[in-house]
Structure 1
Amino acid sequence: MKKQLILGLLALLSLVLVGCRDARTYNDKVNVVFFTSNSDPSKIESYLNIEPGSLIPEPEYIPTRTGYDFLGWFKDIAATQPWNFDTDTVGTESIVLYAGWGSLVYDIFYDWNGGTIPTTPYQETFRVGQSFVLPQPRRVGYEFKAWFLYDENEWPGYTPGIGQTYKPGDGGYSTLPVNVGAADLYLYAHWDAIKVSVTFRANYPVASVVSNPSNRTFTYDFNLVYDANVTPEMTNINKLPDFSAIASTLDYTFVGWNTSADGSGVWYAENTPFQRTIRITLYAQWQAK
């Protein structure tokens, strides 16, 4: 009997000691961790050792994220359950509060540079990280090159008269530029003027006296200038043959170029813009001296 009593006391003492040890080591306090985003680690100190059932103060630091607007703190990472710092209390377990983000919308400003605005809908706003095809404008006499972040002829090192409106090696954009940044976007349409092969026929009244000039390539909208009147400072022109080198040896005077051999077609006169988008044959017109 005595032996049994001693064993019982030892068992009871053991339970008391365990209870005392648990009382000394058990901590029911909880922690609150703030998470902003994967791309922007939180700068907000966690709240440690909070009493369950307590209100917590809203952090003074407002997190930032490029291209996004901070919407507040949420209970879930999908940001569907907002945390109300005035009424919500912490529970019996540690929690994470997540920053909610709303993607900012930015405007796109298009400079068509003489092109026709598409009649089909096109994007005039964007959000950071979006990707979509940019509109394709049209312009008579020109081929649309691409959209650029600078206007025509406004790139460093541009030399007037070279006929290229964009920086060599810059292909421009047909889709929204990546990493465009969190700001309104300004896009400029650049154009390549259409180049046309022109065939010339001497059409001299006396056969085999005057040879046909060689074919030339003309650029849309460039002015026509006779060879004899071209000066070194002239740029962006189309040079018209004029037979000036042999004029003094001929019995007829050259008077211009026409689309018909008999002069009944369209005249292509000097100091007028060339506005043809398909190849053409021009016939010299003569007048007896």
Structure 2
Amino acid sequence: MTKRLDTNVPGDFFVNSNCIDCDQCRQIAPANFSDVRGMSAVTKQPRGDEERRLAMHALLTCPTGAIGSENQEGLQAAMEDFPLLVEENVYFNGFTARNSYGASSYLILHPDGNWLVDAPRYVPQLVEKFEQLGGIRYIFLSHQDDVADAARYAEKFGAERIIHEWELSAQPDAEHVIQGLDTVEFAPEFRILVQPGHTRGHLVLLYQEKYLFTGDHLAWDRERQDLDAFEDFCWYSWEVQGRSMARLAGETFQWVLPGHGDRKKLPADEMRVRMNQLVQRMGARA
């Protein structure tokens, strides 16, 4: 039986015992949600329309329904906001899935066909929005952990899934299977880089040499205010992940858009410096 956690401050919004500490609410509405004793909690009730809207975004994104509100005012408007604009033609989908532990997924609008990067849970609101935006042509799957409802989206839109051969057990009927370790120039503006470490066949997607979709390979750590990788959640090889990161440090990008962890934009030169520093830190820990 779920219950409202006693770590919440009194008021409208709350987190209940379904919380799996995925961190999405703290990323979306950091003014109102915090980490308390290993779970999220409402540590300040929203004030004003903007904070309430963000809290509603967090409620809708939560993969386990762990966020509640005693007042549903603004819920429908917040739902219609999704997918949320990141920059230019790149969007955050929200509506994360429990079976991907609340991993972020993204949408790229493109004249040659839209890309879904990893997958959210399958919900009518997103399906309708994707239809309005021109559907989905490709579904890029970074690795086996974050496929969520990719198969349902592929069936709905006739989309072609992309995954590495070493992750194929998660989507055995995927239409495009990346093999080996070589970088794939999949389409103009889209490069697929094989980055083993977190899992054996982990992929990252580089779009326009600006947006790097990193799955569980690389993220921004808000506490350290720096790039980081997750040694405690490295399922294949930390040493191999360090070597992959060293190769990635030679690429040009401004945005890090992860499945888990914070998104971050930096000038390309600064991003390269921080990448090289991360490679050094990972070598020291290997």
Please state which band the TM-score falls in when normalised by the shorter chain. under 0.3
TM-score by length of 1: 0.21
Q: Highest relative contact order (Cα 8 Å, sep 6+), 1 or 2? A: 1
More helix by share: 2
Flag the structure with larger Rg: 1
TM-score by length of 2: 0.22
